[in-house]
Structure 1
Amino acid sequence: MATPTETVLARRWRMDVNMATFEAPDWQLFPAITEFQPQWPPNIEESTTYDSDGWQENEKTGQEWSIEATFNRKATPDSTAFSPVHEKLRTASFAYGAASKVYVRFYDRNGLPEAYTGRVLVEWEDQGGESTDLGQVQVTLTGDGPLTAIANPVTP
């Protein structure tokens, strides 16, 4: 294998939203993302005992994950409908129970092995702005359950 020498770009990430059910998924592209920040920090608890000779010890006791994404809001040319994928997240942000949870997957659009899927709760924040600004929305997708590594769907 060749030694990696090329720096990857932030725009390598692509995200899809399941527009159907978990059992029969219909993955559709989440269009127009301008910023994308996935995170999966562990919960670390200090576990030092007298036996450590003064060195602090720690244990990983849990894991959480989230995605912060900003995107340009998209509408049909006649301005009668928004992107159905965007709408799936917007309506989930108002819902409770099962209707408030959406399955997403995100992966390296170039086929590198990094790819994940999981269920999220949605926070929707319209960015507003001045009369010349683009209509943008920031969503925070908070993981509900595990973030699971998957085979990259664009890898041949």
Structure 2
Amino acid sequence: MSTPTATVLARRWRLEVDMSAAQDGSDFQLFPAVTDFNWTAEPNHEDSSVYEDGGWAGNTKTGQAWEVVATCNRKATADSTAYSAVHEKVRAAFFAFGDDSQVRIRWMDRDGLPEAYEGTALVTWAPQGGERTALDQVQVTFTGNGPLEQITNPLAA
């Protein structure tokens, strides 16, 4: 194995949304026009220090939460009659309740490197507004609801 020397770029991430009605991972499609992408998976640590530790702190991981924040440019058809179907599914989930308020997403390294993740999330849809010359952008926050799974990158060779 050779020593890594090339710096990877932030735009390496590809975000996809499961468009299937069952949200079973059978119809992942590109979430298009992403201009900014960030994800976190913060652990919850609780103090588990005891006298026997000789004054050193002890900690125990008791939980974990994950989140994806993506900003995208809104895209419409040439005749301005429809938006991206994937964007619309996510926007609709933001206004829904219960199971309909969740979407299954996955993201992976678009160059096929091993990092890839999948999970079910609640949606926050926040239009960004702007000046008269600004692009129409939306910041979407996917708040994990359940486990974040490490998956085999579907784009791997």
Which band: TM-score by shorter chain? over 0.9
The residue type equivalent to 1:22 in the other structure is: Q
Identity of aligned residues (%): 58
> CA–CA distance in 2 between the matches of 1:44 and 1:37?
22
Aligned CA distance change for structure 1 residues 103 and 23 (closer, same or farther; 3 Å): closer
Aligned CA distance change for structure 1 residues 71 and 24 (closer, same or farther; 3 Å): closer
Quick check: 68-77 or 14-23, which moved more? 14-23
How much has 1:24 moved relative to structure 2?
A: 6.2
CA RMSD, Structure 1 to Structure 2 (Å):
0.8
Task: Provide the secondary structure at the position in 2 that maps to 1:65.
Answer: strand
1:17 corresponds to:
17
1:148 corresponds to:
149
The residue type equivalent to 1:115 in the other structure is: A
Do the aligned residues in 1 keep the contact of 2:25 with 2:104 (CA within 8 Å)? no
Task: Provide the secondary structure at the position in 1 that maps to 2:119.
Answer: strand
The residue type equivalent to 2:155 in the other structure is: V
> CA–CA distance in 2 between the matches of 1:45 and 1:79?
52
Q: Calculate the TM-score normalised by the size of structure 2.
A: 0.97
How much has 1:25 moved relative to structure 2?
A: 1.4
The residue type equivalent to 1:112 in the other structure is: L
Q: What whole-Å deviation, never above 9, does each CA across 1:90-110 have from its counterpart, x for those lacking one? A: 000000001001000100000
Gaps of 5+ in 1: none
Gaps of 5+ in 2: none
Q: What whole-Å deviation, never above 9, does each CA across 1:101-141 have from its counterpart, x for those lacking one? A: 10001000000000010000000000000100000000110
